[in-house]
Chain A
Amino acid sequence: MIEYLLLAPILTSILCFLTKTRKQVETVSIIGSIATLVLGLVLVNNVFKYGTIVAWQNALFADAFSAFIVLIVSIVGFVASFYSVGYMGHEFDHNIFDIKKLKMYYVLFHIFMFTMLLVGVTNNLGLWIAIEMTTLVSALLMILYSRKSSVEAAWKYMIICTVGITFALFGTILTYYAAVKILGETGDALNWTSLIAVADQFDPTIMKLAFIFILIGYGTKAGLAPMHTWLPDAHSEAPTPVSALLSGVLLNCAMYGIIRFYTIATKSTGVGFTSNLIIIFGLLSLGIAVPFIILQEDYKRLLAYSSVEHMGIVALGIGFGGVYGIFGAILHMFNHAMTKSLMFFGAGNVLLKYETKEIDKVSGIVKSMPVTGPMLIIGALAITGSPPFSIFLSEFTILAAGFLQGRYVSSVLFLLFLIMIFAGFFNNISKMVFGTPKPGITKGEVSRWTLAAMSILIVFVIVLGVYIPPFFYDMIMKVVAVIR
C-alpha cells in the first residue's frame, strides 16, 4: 500500500520527463496528482480503519499520525498541481519558462511530493533522510527562476537547513544511542513503535541533549525562531505553487519530526523540560513574526512570516499539551496547510497580474480580480484567526489548552501576539485588496485553474470553521492518541 503511494509521484515524475509538449506534461501531472491523492486517501482510510501499516521490513510505516501527514501532503499537492497548470501556464505563455524548464518544474514537483510523502511514511531515521531530500529538491525548484534573489534565497535555504538538519541527525544518533543501550543493537532500535515502548527507560540526560539537537535541527526546517531566518527568503522566492507546498506542507513535515521526538523525549525526561522548551520556541516564533508582519513591504514575505507564526502556534499547542493542546496543534497543522496555500495561491494570482511583490504597488484587487479579491480577504481573515474560519477553532483550542494547563502567561502572550499580528497582517492585505487598481491593470482573472484550486481550499477553510465532521474528529483524536 505504502509503496504504491510512493511510487505514484515517482512514476509521474518520470512520465513528465518523457513528455514533449505543454499539454502532455500538464495532463500527466494532473493525472499523476489525482492518482497520488486517491492512493493517499486510500492509505489514510486504511490506517484509520485497520490501524498501523508497515512495509519493507519496517522501513516504511504508517500510523494515524503518518496518515494525517499523508492526508495534508496529498490534498495540498493535488490542489497545487491544479494551480501549477494555471500559474506555470501563464509563465509559459509569457515566455518566462520554455518547455524544458516547464518539464523540469513538473518533474521536480512530483519528486518533491514524493519526498514529502516519504517524510510521513518513513520509519524514524529515514525521516532524516527524507527531510534532507525535501530540502535538496525544493532548492532546485527555487532556482528554476534564474533571478538573483532566487539564487540567494536558495543558497541560504540550502545552507541553513542543511546545518539544521545536521543537528537533527546528531539528535537522532543520540536517541539511537539511548535506545541501543536498552534494546541492544537490533534494527528495531530506530522504529517509532519500539522506541516509544521503551522510551521511559532512556537516559534522561542523553534524551535532553538529543531533544535539543532535534528541536534546533527540525526546528530550523520548521521555521521556528530564531532558526527561521531562511524561511521568508525561500518561501517568497520560490514559484508560487511551490511556496504553497513549502509553507503549507513542508513545514508541517518538519513539525512532524519534532512531535515524533517530542513524544519519545517526553517519556524519558518528563513533560516539563520538553514542553517548556517547545513553548519558548513557539512564543519566540510568534513574537519574532510580529514586527516583520507589521512592517512588511512584500506580500509573499508577509505570508512567509505568517508561516513562522503558525508554526509557533503549532509548537505552542504541543507544548501546552493535554488532549486539547495536541488536538488543537494537529488541527492547526491541517488548517494552516489549507489556509496558507489558499493565501499563497491568491498572492500568486496577484503576482501574475500586478507583476510586483510590493504591497504598496498593489491596490484594488477586488476590482481587478473579482474572485481572487474576496478569497484573499477570506483567507486573510482566516489566517489571522478570525471566526468563522477554520484556524480560529484550532487557535482557540490551543489557547484553551494553555489556560487549562495553567500556563497563563504564555497564553496571554499568545493572545497578544495574535492580535498584533492580526492588525499588521490585515492592514497589509486590506491595503492591497481594497481601493482602486492603478491604471493599466486590466480587469479579469488570470486563469480558471488557479481559481479552481483556490475554491477547493476555501471549502476547507469555511466548513471546518463551523463544523468538524465526526470522522475528521475521530481521525484527529486517533492522532492525538499516538502522540500522547
Chain B
Amino acid sequence: MSEIILGSKMVQLIIALILVSTFLILGSTRLYSCVRAFGIQSFLLACVAGIVAYSTGKNDIYIVALLTLVIKAAVIPYIFIYIIREIKVKREVELYVNVSPSLIIGGVLVVISYYLIRSINILSELSSFALSASMSLVSIGLFVMISRKKAIMQMLGILIMENGLFLGAISLTYGMPLLVELGIFFDVLIGVLIMGILIFRINKTFESIDTDMLKTLIG
C-alpha cells in the first residue's frame, strides 16, 4: 500500500517541488526570498504529510501535517521575518560560495545522495527516491550553513535539515509515534526561539550577525 502512495505522481511531484524550493534558497541572494522559499518548502512538506495521512488513514499524521503547516510554514517564517526587521539586517545573503557554484554543488549533492541511497540497495525504488530527497535536503541544509556568512542563514540551514529529516521519517515510516513527534516539534520551536534570542544577542554584542566576527575562540 505504501508503495502506491509514494509512487503516486502526486507525492513524487511534491518531493520534486521540495527540491526545487531548496534550490530556490541556494539560488537567492535576498533573505526574504530565502525565508519565502523555506515557507513554501514547509508547506509542501505538510502536503506530503497530509497525503500520507489520507492514504494510511492515521489520524495522528493529520495532526502532524497540521503542526507542520502551522509551525514550519507559518510561525517560523514569521519569526525569521521578525528578526530580520527588528535587527535591521542588510537584506543580502552574504556568501562564502557564490550563487552559481552553490547551485552546482547543490546539484552534485543531490546526485551523490541519490547515488548513496541507491547503492545501499535495500530499499524499493520509490522509497529510495524519497529518502534520497531527504538526504539531499539534509546535506544541502548543511551546505547552506557552511557557505553562508550570516547567523540567520545558519538557522535556516538547520531548519532545512530538519525538513529533510521530516521528509525521510514520513516517507519511510509514516511518521513516528505522536508523542515523539510532538516532542520534536516542541524542540524545534524552542530551538528556533532560542536561536532567535542568540541572534539578537550576537547583534547586540557584535553589532552584526556576520559569523565572521565569531572567530575569537581559537586553540
- Asked if A and B form a direct contact in the complex, defined as CB atoms under 8 angstroms apart, the reply is yes
Interface positions of A (Cβ within 8 A of B): 59, 125-126, 128-129, 132-133, 135-136, 139-140, 143, 146-149, 151-156, 158-159, 162-163, 166-167, 169-170, 173-174, 176-177, 180, 185, 187, 190, 203, 205-206, 209, 232-233, 236-237, 292, 295-298, 301
* Complex Cα gap A59–B138 (Å): 28
- Give the segment of B17-25, B28-36, B62-70, B197-205 that binds chain A: B197-205
B51 at the binding interface (Cβ < 8 Å): no
Cβ-defined contact, B180 with A151, below 8 A? no
Of residues A132, A139, A173, which shows the largest number of chain B Cβ atoms within 10 Å of its Cβ? A173
Residues on A with C-beta less than 8 A from B45 are: none
- Chain A minimum-CB-distance residue to B151: A155
Cβ-defined contact, A155 with B145, below 8 A? no
Residues on B with C-beta less than 8 A from A159 are: 145, 154-155, 158, 195
* Complex Cα gap A296–B165 (Å): 39
* Given A59-B179, A136-B191, A148-B205, A162-B158 contact (CB < 8 Å): yes
B181 to chain A, nearest CB (A): 9
Residues on A with C-beta less than 8 A from B202 are: 151-152, 155
Proximity string of chain B (187-211) to chain A, C-beta cutoff 8 Å, 1 when within and 0 when not = 1001100110110011011100001
* Given A132-B191, A133-B187, A237-B217, A125-B198 contact (CB < 8 Å): no
Q: B118-162: which have CB < 8 Å to A?
A: 120-122, 138, 142, 145, 151, 154-155, 158, 161-162
Proximity string of chain B (161-183) to chain A, C-beta cutoff 8 Å, 1 when within and 0 when not = 11001001100111011011001
Contact of A166 (CB < 8 Å), options: B122, B162, B197? B162
A sample of 18 more A-B contacts (CB under 8 A), given A155-B151, A176-B173, A190-B180, is A125-B183, A128-B184, A129-B184, A135-B191, A136-B194, A151-B202, A152-B216, A154-B201, A159-B145, A159-B195, A163-B145, A166-B165, A173-B169, A173-B172, A177-B173, A205-B120, A206-B122, A233-B217
B1 at the binding interface (Cβ < 8 Å): no
Interface positions of B (Cβ within 8 A of A): 120-122, 138, 142, 145, 151, 154-155, 158, 161-162, 165, 168-169, 172-174, 176-177, 179-180, 183-184, 186-187, 190-191, 194-195, 197-198, 201-202, 204-206, 211, 213-214, 216-217, 219
B163 to chain A, nearest CB (A): 10
B161 to chain A, nearest CB (A): 5
* Given A151-B198, A185-B174, A173-B122 contact (CB < 8 Å): no
* Given A125-B176, A159-B154, A205-B122, A149-B217 contact (CB < 8 Å): yes
B contact patch SS: helix
- Chain A minimum-CB-distance residue to B142: A163
25 contacts between A and B (CB under 8 A): A59-B179, A126-B183, A128-B184, A129-B187, A136-B191, A139-B198, A140-B197, A151-B201, A152-B214, A152-B216, A153-B217, A154-B201, A155-B211, A158-B194, A159-B145, A159-B158, A163-B158, A163-B161, A167-B138, A169-B184, A170-B168, A173-B165, A176-B173, A177-B172, A190-B177
A293 to chain B, nearest CB (A): 11
